[in-house]
Structure 1
Amino acid sequence: ISHYEHGGIPQLLHKNRKYTPIFKQKVIEYKWLHHLSLNQSAAKFSIPNTGTISTWEKLYHSYGFSGLLAKKRGRPSMKKSKSKNKVNKPKKELSYVEKLEQEVYQLRMENDLLKKWHALMKQWEKEGRH
């Protein structure tokens, strides 16, 4: 009913099954910021199942943004590799600069996440929530 009230028949027909990690984070943070229920959040963002948002929240609490990244699903393939006779090429070792660039990228992501968390905590303190 809430999906129909929020977007009419088109919202009932729209079923997006793939969501980006950034979209997932926005949904979770919007829900927290506006104190919405799972049903309200699902209707707002056209997500057919409220359990989807609940799962995202649990992953976000446990692993942060990295928990929202896509993971391979299902059972791994049992097919034998066709490249048995081929010589395995050694993996290219990263240069010192490339390693530093990766580290800077990782630290920036962590810093952004901490800033968002800190802003959210400040907001909750202003509202009297702990």
Structure 2
Amino acid sequence: MPADDARERTELSDLVRTRMAELGLSYRRLEEICVDPEAVAGDQAVEPLWRRGTLENLAKGRRIKPPDFPMLRALAAGLQVTLRQVQEAAGAQFLGIDTVWSPDGRTRVLIEGFRDMDPEDQAKVLALMESRRRLRRD
């Protein structure tokens, strides 16, 4: 999927808007609590990794620079969701990578443009996942 198409996706933006509404957070408050939980606080206070304006731009679907891994951890902490949820949403929105889970939830693949595949090709991906899962089980 070309980079331009990936920018049209809104998975991370949607997650931010939804969680902010559910938690009753303002952009300012979300900024304050978006701290990387793995950051080490020495003599200085650990700073939030997101700024209010960037969060607002993201939530409103405006273009932002793709976040790095510490920023994803900080956003997951601020939104009170798993890192996996934030990673999957960011991968979809910024890279066009879809995370596809097997029906039993035990196997996942990261695949570019899965949602744009026709149903026959999607079924082939799922069948390949199932065959791989069975091979690992045996």
Q: Bin the TM-score by the shorter chain.
A: under 0.3
Q: Which has the higher helix share?
A: 1
| Higher RCO (CA 8 Å, separation ≥ 6 residues) | 2
TM-score, normalised on structure 1? Answer: 0.25
